[in-house]
Amino acid sequence: MLKMLVAVINVVDKVDSIISALAEGGVTGGTVLESSGLHPHIDSDDDTHHFGFLRQFLKPERAPSKTLIFVVDEGKVEFVKNTILDCVGDLSKENLGYIVELDVANASAISK
């Protein structure tokens, strides 16, 4: 069975080492996206709503993150997760990121 792993990495300087380590282990395909959390886009404080863009410029609340997406055979899932954890550290600490694992019913390449 195929699995999709979506990893949001908040320590962006670790992404290159993650990708290199995965490639060494045979995982050579995936997608890397620039990402950010929703918090900067949702501001419920009406008094400062119009100045949110200025606040973000002067004092960003969170640095950008990168989202890594992989579709791998079930046998590679633990390797991918462990590789990410080895490079980044314990994701439950210090808001370093998270990993989501999803079942893939079907996947096919798009070609001309």
What confidence score (pLDDT) does residue 91 get?
75
Model-level pTM greater than 0.95? no
- Please provide the size of the chain in residues: 112
Place of tokens 């989202």: 67
Q: Is 80 exposed, middle or buried (0-12, 13-18, 19+ CB in 10 A)?
A: buried
Domains within the chain, CATH numbers bracketed: 2-104 (3.30.70.120)
What confidence score (pLDDT) does residue 37 get?
75
Query: Each residue's pLDDT tens digit in the chain (112 positions)?
Result: 999 999 999 999 999 999 999 999 999 999 999 998 766 556 555 555 555 655 556 655 667 899 999 999 999 999 999 999 999 988 777 778 999 999 999 988 898 8
What confidence score (pLDDT) does residue 109 get?
85
